[in-house]
Amino acid sequence: MRHNKKFNHLGRTASHRAAMLSNMAISLIMHKRITTTLAKAKALKKYVEPLITKSKEDTTNSRRVVFSYLQDKHAITELFTVISQKVGDRPGGYTRIIKTGFRASDAAPMCFIELVDFDENMAKTAKKAKRTRRSSKKSAPAAEAPAEEVAETAAPAAEEAQE
């Protein structure tokens, strides 16, 4: 019986799947964003988020546990120094999956997966004020007034230049 076996095998053997997820996790840690298929991104999210949680506590044991999954000293250093500092106060949800469409060759759903606190573009757009119709109506007459003043001040300057 196959009770409670909901893991996506991704069409690979166990060793191939472990190696692939380890390599993808290293790439995500080093580059902060990678493009992949949706199924692989979902599997990677389940793989890498516990490692990031483990990196919040910088002990020898936690480093050894994470190293047993990743096997890359540079990625471990990056994870325990830079990433753990940024996500220290976040209780979870360290990654974000954004769908980008379908691959041209086989129509596989593509997406990119990124570390949440490292995307500067999303942080900038989140701080923008929400525009409503009321605010645009109030600002429209105010925007017209300075344009009229500029036109009035430019006209006498042009007349003086002709004299």
Tens-place pLDDT, residues 47-81: 999 999 999 999 999 999 999 999 999 999 999 99
Superfamily for the 14-121 domain: Ribosomal protein L17 (3.90.1030.10)
Whole-number Å distance between alpha carbons of 58 and 49: 16
Whole-number Å distance between alpha carbons of 57 and 51: 11
Closest-CA residue to 87 (of 123, 115, 114)? 115
Whole-number Å distance between alpha carbons of 25 and 68: 13
Q: Above 80 in pLDDT, residue 89?
A: yes
pLDDT of residue 1: 87
- Two tokens at 101? 């469409």
- Two tokens at 97? 């999956």
Quick: pLDDT tens for 111-148: 999 999 887 776 555 544 556 677 555 555 555 555 55
pLDDT of residue 129: 52
Mean pLDDT in the chain? Answer: 84
pLDDT of residue 133: 72
Share of the chain above pLDDT 90, in %: 65
- Two tokens at 29? 């840690």
pLDDT of residue 70: 96
- Confidence class for position 4, pLDDT limits 50, 70, 90: confident
pLDDT of residue 10: 94
Q: Above 60 in pLDDT, residue 25?
A: yes
pLDDT of residue 18: 96
Identity of the residue numbered 131: R
- The structural domains of the chain, with segments of one domain joined by +, span 14-121, 128-163
User: What is the phi/psi pair of residue 13, to 5°?
Assistant: -75, 170
pTM over 0.85: no
Q: Above 80 in pLDDT, residue 15?
A: yes
Whether residue 32 contacts residue 114, with contact meaning beta carbons closer than 8 Å, is answered with: yes
Whole-number Å distance between alpha carbons of 54 and 79: 10
User: What is the phi/psi pair of residue 153, to 5°?
Assistant: -75, -25
Whole-number Å distance between alpha carbons of 111 and 107: 12
Residue 75 CB contacts under 8 Å (≥ 6 apart), including other chains? 25, 26, 29, 30
